[in-house]
A and B are shown apart, each in its own frame.
Chain A
């Protein structure tokens, strides 16, 4: 019974944490008067037509188009990030080579590099070779283990796999790559899930990079179409539509988070991202 105050406190905090999101979903169904007259999130009536209008967006393209655009960025980026981070982490975790300590220090240092410093010269670089306004600047950096945190996380997990496994496989005639693919990768599957989920969520959230690199409306990812709609419609009636678009835009992240939640929180908590 000593636990009851704890539960009350935690529940109160949980309500504060979740209420804005509930309110957002509720507000998309409300009339404008209702949005500004009731703090309770449940709408008086369910008016689904706003979602139909929201799906049509403020451009000639539908939300479906922008979902596809986003996935065209996310899918290659995730595959690139997983492959490159696994290779680099394998190198750091299982091999000795010249200047290893220096490279590892650089990797750690790159995690603390503010993105906003590098993004301006990178824009100049990509536009000089004519690749701005394509998905190349958004996806290709992932081929080069751009997220130091992923490599770091993987190195720690590789170290948790006994080296006897590798040695046994080598005695059986496996080369370095086969050891990685057949022995190590199956052991670290939860981390690979975590990396994919993080890449997905971070890409859904990324705003600055697409804002700078992508200029044609038809190539916009979700974040930019939301910004465009929020900027271009000021009158009261359309507020509801923006809210509904925001709710639609959040669905993929919420779905991925919900699906992976258990695995992925355990992936982080198993000592991965903690330094």
Chain B
């Protein structure tokens, strides 16, 4: 956002704008700043959600670090994120390249490709996804037709995680739309010039498209990483975190500690640690992509 500096119209004081954005300021204080501070403070207490919190210092945090359950959940969440995000970015970019073609009926394809990302997090679809992978379900029948042995999808940790990865991968539409917009902004003259210079499709993809998409790739990377790190509803509904906690994400851990075991203090400590983890990850992404950018130039 360059150019936020407008001069006010004649007769408008410098507080009119401030007054207009007041809803945001109040909302930010109440629904972002307050919970953020509260979770740090509650994280330092022993609190069951009912009786008043009792200050216990950093005990929750040291418990957390030594807890194998917490470390397991961090491992599962990171593994899930590292598998899903690169796949999703690749698929959404390829789909955007396909859908950028100027051909008849392209609108229908765009709508179909986009639809799962709109419906996908609806609980109805999450429940359906669970049915698709039950033994004898649609996926088993399809693998059988091609002659593959039926795998017990829910019996093995890796395949259970794959069920959730596939669900979220299927919802690549929102990332695809961002890519599609960015692709449309690339002037076609660039490609024509490249063709004149004897550049093939693949080379012009790597030399023109990819560098020009750098900003939107980064945006998608950050958005998808944050979304994947927070994964809760799919493992909660589809696998219940199993088998053997192999799909037990941090989101599920926070929820369970808060509402099943009533350890509000501990749950808040985990939330806060989780926020730090996400921030660190995003900062690493920033650092790595910045470095890459400089190398390219």
Q: Is the CB of A269 within 8 A of B177?
A: yes
Binary contact track B153-189/A, C-beta < 8 Å → 1, others 0: 0000000000000000010000001101110100000
**A37 to B135 Cα, complex, angstroms:** 11
| Residue A275 is within 8 A (CB to CB) of chain B in the complex | yes
Binary contact track A49-90/B, C-beta < 8 Å → 1, others 0: 000000000000000000000000000000000001001101
Known: A92-B21, A230-B127. A17 touches B15 (CB 8 A): no
**A21 to B21 Cα, complex, angstroms:** 42
Chain A residues near B216: list those with CB within 8 A. 274-275
**A110 to B274 Cα, complex, angstroms:** 16
Known: A250-B119, A269-B181. A144 touches B30 (CB 8 A): yes
Chain A interface residue count, CB cutoff 8 Å, equals 96
| Residue B210 is within 8 A (CB to CB) of chain A in the complex | no
Q: Is the CB of A151 within 8 A of B9?
A: no
Q: Is the CB of A253 within 8 A of B119?
A: yes
Chain B residues near A274: list those with CB within 8 A. 177-178, 181-182, 216
Q: Is the CB of B125 within 8 A of A170?
A: no
**A209 to B108 Cα, complex, angstroms:** 33
**One of B35-43, B64-72, B80-88 contacting the partner:** B35-43
Q: Is the CB of A265 within 8 A of B278?
A: no
Chain A residues near B275: list those with CB within 8 A. 114, 117
| Residue B25 is within 8 A (CB to CB) of chain A in the complex | yes
Kindly report which residue of chain A lies nearest to residue B174, judged by CB atoms.
A273
Known: A114-B229, A143-B23, A204-B122. A125 touches B18 (CB 8 A): no
Kindly report which residue of chain A lies nearest to residue B31, judged by CB atoms.
A141
Residue of A107, A118, A170, A230 touching B31 (CB-CB under 8 A): A118
Binary contact track B115-156/A, C-beta < 8 Å → 1, others 0: 110110111110111111000111001100100000000000
| Residue B267 is within 8 A (CB to CB) of chain A in the complex | yes
Q: Is the CB of A242 within 8 A of B18?
A: no
| Residue A183 is within 8 A (CB to CB) of chain B in the complex | no
Chain B residues near A92: list those with CB within 8 A. 4, 17, 21
Q: Is the CB of A96 within 8 A of B38?
A: no
| Residue B5 is within 8 A (CB to CB) of chain A in the complex | yes
Binary contact track B13-26/A, C-beta < 8 Å → 1, others 0: 01111111101111
**A166 to B11 Cα, complex, angstroms:** 13
Known: A18-B115, A96-B17, A124-B38. A112 touches B226 (CB 8 A): yes
B residues in contact (CB < 8 Å) with A = 1, 3-12, 14-21, 23-28, 30-32, 34-36, 38-39, 42, 49, 95, 98-99, 101, 103, 109-116, 118-119, 121-125, 127-132, 136-138, 141-142, 145, 170, 177-178, 180-182, 184, 215-216, 219, 222-223, 226, 229-230, 232-233, 237, 250-251, 254-255, 258-259, 264, 267-268, 271-272, 274-275, 278, 282
What are 15 A-B residue pairs whose CB atoms fall within 8 Å in the complex? A84-B23, A87-B20, A88-B21, A91-B17, A112-B223, A113-B32, A114-B274, A118-B32, A120-B254, A121-B36, A122-B31, A141-B27, A141-B31, A208-B232, A223-B122
